[in-house]
Structure 1
Amino acid sequence: MTLKNTTDRWGGVSQFLHWLIMLLILILAVVGLSLDSLPKSPKYFWVYDLHKSTGLAVLALVVLRLGWRLYAGSPAPVAGTPTWQARIAGLTHWALYALILAIPLSGWLYDSASGLRPLKWFGLFTVPKLSAPNEGLRDLAHEAHEWLFWVLVALVAVHVAAAFYHHIFQRDDTLTRMLPRRRKASPTSR
């Protein structure tokens, strides 16, 4: 497998970042949706800090992924894909990137404007605040954080549905080119 993207497949770096970010977002979603049900104990604050640190890690990873995509390019649309579908796919990808950037930024702004104790990223270093404490900005950032998450959920559902539509009904390589290639069995291993 090549690390760089080719004209027909996503390379190893893009695949790794895609699936890692997806896994981290799934974990963030589960934790984020359960935060309100946790009792306000020391464990709550540990989980909350872990949620914030992981969100900032996703922010860094998506910046890395965007940089890699600009460097390595992206595969051309699968042969036979109508132009309108290719445009919608391109717009969807960029909207996903924008949301995956905006959600952690809104969470960081929410944390900053809340005036809470400083966040230590995974306990390693203190994350700078984006603003001074501000109740109005805090509320706006919190609302944005939640609404952007639900928009992301909807867009990811469309993204996944489109990938499976192409895989099951179109029988093309749209889905498989984001998956590692299967190794062909050697004649001696049969």
Structure 2
Amino acid sequence: MIIGLTGGIGSGKTAAANRFAAAHGIHVVDADQKSRVVVEPGRPALTHIVDRFGEAILLKDGSLNRSALREKVFAAPQERQWLEELLHPLIRDEIISDLQSANSPYALLVSPLLVESGQNNLTSRVIVVDVPEAMQLARTVERDAVPEAQVRAIMQAQAQREERMRHAHDVLTNDGDLAALHAQVDALHKRYLELLERPQ
């Protein structure tokens, strides 16, 4: 069983995924990490990005300057679309190969764009980490030290809260402390083990 875990920026996806992995030994595949792998130096995707945006999109060591790229693509919807069309199939391939290596009772696919990218088609259930938008905004501005306007642009590009909730089988409400989030994760884990024990 593959379970998708999604939520907007700053919702606490990583904290939830870390609990599944650390407390319950669940194999976690992080789509954000895969999105970094496909643009590493020497990978074809990085060459395409440089061809499109120029050498200025690279850091001194030849790796991708992700914040410079983010500024460009979130300012121009057609550039974001071009980038997604290039990267999504590559990321999907990386995700599938990692999921196939899982040997825990179920695997977790963590992705901020689970719904938008169609990655939810790889999953049999979807967990949404839900948090009020004001809290999401404040957490992200503080964590990433970025302007509020940039966070708002990223939030606009992600599925709206209602759209995510429409796809949810399970919801983790993350408006309290870490202990409250962990308790919800532990309860879900128990439930998933019970589901797996049921005859198909």
Report the TM-score, using the length of structure 2 for normalisation: 0.28
- Structure with the bigger percentage of helix: 1
> Which one scores higher on RCO, CA 8 angstroms, separation ≥ 6?
2
Report the TM-score, using the length of structure 1 for normalisation: 0.29
Structure 1 or 2, whichever has the larger Rg, is: 1
- Structure with the bigger percentage of strand: 2
